[in-house]
Chain A
Amino acid sequence: MAEELVLLGFWPSIFGMRVRIALAEKGLKYEYKEEDLWNKSDLLLQMNPVHKKVPVLIHKGKPVCESLILVQYIDEVWHNKSPLLPSDPYQRSVARFWADFVDKKIFDLGRKIWRTRGEEHAAAKKEFIESLKLLEGELGNKPYFGGENLGYVDVVFVPCYSWFYAYEKCGNFSIEEECPKLIAWAKRCMQKESVSKSLVDQEKIYGFVLHMNKVLGIE
């Protein structure tokens, strides 16, 4: 029986990429609908009336929103294949903590790197690098955050790799120089089809950032 899955997304969004990786890990077929965030579809407004944001997964007509919640939902419903969260409650709490850390730090600070200038930009860049180093510390010598296989934190964090080139160009720094282990980890993840097929090309993301800066009048 078809699972009747529809994913509403926006192509540069790291949040949408997370969901695509999770769906691919579970071997699920779904229909993807690209949203124009400046002209949101009736379906999006109906399925996520509270936040009106993507991604939204519609499973048999019922919507699930917020990417971290979405990935957990996918992991629970299709629990027979490629488990993403650990089974032990303590390990699960650690995974959730680091996923929450990625959401609190990386996205917002990264956005400040490409959208702001001057002191705000400098402060964001500094904190961004510090945050990446903390994540690198958490990875340690493991091949993945999930251990021997891709796990929840890998799925949540690796889409940010699509944006690294844009951050580097806007911030005039090299993430590989600062965090070589993280880059090695990201490349390792990219060898998995679920990741390589879900992540957007780094140059395309940079093109999107340049376009947005023009639209927003940021030099």
Chain B
Amino acid sequence: MEDEVVLLDLCPSAFAMRVKIALEEKGVKYECKQEDLRNKSPLLLEMNPIHKKVPVLIHNGRPISESLIIVQYIDEVWNHKSPLLPSDPYQRSQALFWADYIDKKIYDSGRRIIWMEKEEQEEAKEELMQTLKTLEGELGDKLYFGGESMGYVDVALVPYTSWFYTYETCGNFSIEEGCPKLITWAKRCKENESVSKALIGPLEVYSFVLQLKKRL
């Protein structure tokens, strides 16, 4: 019996991009359904009644929500190819730690850079740069956070690089100046087909944010 895989998606969402990369890495065929967050579909409300958010993966009719939980699920179910999490429990705990760190830090700093001004924005910029520098330190001299090939932390972080141009333009600063190694790493990731297929371009993200700003 063939797997039925549906992804409830929002193109610019970094969280949704993570799931797409994971599915592409595993060579899973899936159907993508775009959601309008101002007019959520009955399917979304049925499949994620608790948070009513995207992404949601629907596998043979059963929903899985929360992007990092979805990526872990994909890694466990389609375990024949491209393992994302290490097999060693300690290494696995470290990968989970860094993905959790990314979740705790980047989205909120980024949001404040886009929407706030002056002191609040400055504070958010400093926090973001500190976070990215810490991640750069964790990457070290490795090709990827996962080592020789992309892993869980790479999948968790790389979608945010589509948002860097938006953060830089709204905040008037350069991420590359502060974190050149991270930018090199991002370019390396994009050479992987799974990433280049899943990520949307920085200008598309910026245009999406401008539209949001116009509405308010």
Interface residues of A (CB under 8 A from B): 50-51, 59, 62, 64-66, 69-70, 72-73, 76-77, 89-90, 92-93, 96-97, 100-101, 134
Contact = CB atoms under 8 A, between A and B. Distances in A.
A97 B69 CA distance: 7
Given A50-B101, A89-B76, A92-B76, A64 B93 contact: yes
A52 B63 CA distance: 35
A62 B90 contact: yes
Contact of B72 (A73, A77, A93): A93
A89 B93 contact: no
7 contacts: A62-B90, A66-B97, A69-B96, A89-B76, A93-B73, A97-B64, A134-B50
Interface of B: 50, 59, 62, 64-66, 69-70, 72-73, 76-77, 89-90, 92-93, 96-97, 100-101, 134
Given A93-B73, A134-B50, A77 B65 contact: no
A90 to B, nearest CB: 6
A100 B65 CA distance: 11
B89 A73 contact: yes
* Interface SS of chain B: helix
B90 A64 contact: yes
Given A89-B77, A90-B73, A97-B69, A73 B90 contact: yes
A89 to B, nearest CB: 4
A100 B96 CA distance: 13
Contacts of B66: 96-97, 100
A121 B70 CA distance: 33
